[in-house]
Amino acid sequence: MDAHRPSRDPLRRRADPVKTIGVLGGMSWESSLEWYRLANERVREQLGGNHSARIILDSLDFAEIEELQARGDWDAAGTLLADHARGLERAGADLIVLCTNTMHLVADRIEAAIGIPFVHIADTTAAAVLASGIRKAGLLGTAFTMEKPFYRERLEAQGIEVLVPSAEKRARVHAIIYDELVHGIIRPESRAYYREVIDELAAQSAEGIILGCTEIELLVSAADSPVPVFPTTSLHVDAALAAAG
């Protein structure tokens, strides 16, 4: 073979070796499945042929995580996820992602436990919102994500004003996630309710809507909103692949 002839291998288009992504998943596995699918589809689209993403997946038992959430034992949850992140690093991961918005509440514990980069889903989302020129966004997610400061404050620190639904609507948005979406149940009436909540946020001057729970993308899309939506799962996948470059 002529040494000066360009290789047909699409991987040769990359300047650096492709890194391995360590994925903390299973929270829930329905959304982790979507994360994994999107990552592999993106790589196939970019590189062609039979290429797929280099991923080490650690799928936790969501029942254990949900119990810690319900008890408010975020310290134990942080310790657990940090331990699993270290395991991914030992297994050869070059960077870590956490495939759940809610559990980014303990992201600082994970980052402190590892010596490799951590791709934060809220930073990924903020970058996309700001790039679109939007400065005021509605946030949908679990009650933890909508009500606790860890997510909103990270967005606000980057110049994004965050709106959330009323307490009554937050409760139902949360219930649909935990009672339906994490079980793979997609109901038209739940989609209609989310549309109603989105319309209200838009009427309150939200210029965009952050789908701040990885399961929400299983239920609603851009077609369900009068303003742009920011699908955090999809954005997170893109950021992780860029970091793995």
- Give yes or no: 213 in active site: yes
| pLDDT for 148 | 96
Catalytic residue among 99, 124, 213, 232: 213
Catalytic residue among 100, 102, 125, 145: 100
Helix runs in the chain, H state only: 29-47, 62-71, 74-90, 107-113, 121-131, 143-147, 149-156, 167-179, 188-203, 232-244
- Sorted by where each starts, the structural domains of the chain and their CATH numbers stand as 10-120+235-244 (3.40.50.1860), 122-231 (3.40.50.1860)
**pLDDT tens track of the chain, all 245 residues?**
333 333 334 333 444 448 999 999 999 999 999 999 999 999 999 999 999 999 999 999 999 999 999 999 999 999 999 999 999 999 999 999 999 999 999 999 999 999 999 999 999 999 999 999 999 999 999 999 999 999 999 999 999 999 999 999 999 999 999 999 999 999 999 999 999 999 999 999 999 999 999 999 999 999 999 999 999 999 999 999 999 98
- Give yes or no: 99 in active site: no
Going by their DSSP bridges, the two strands 95-98 and 21-25 should be labelled as: parallel
DSSP letters for 125-155: HHHHHHHTT--EEEEES-HHHHHSHHHHHHH
CA-CA distance, 215 to 132, in Å (whole number)? 23
| pLDDT for 18 | 83
CA-CA distance, 218 to 126, in Å (whole number)? 21
Q: 8 CB contacts (<8 Å, ≥6 apart)?
A: none
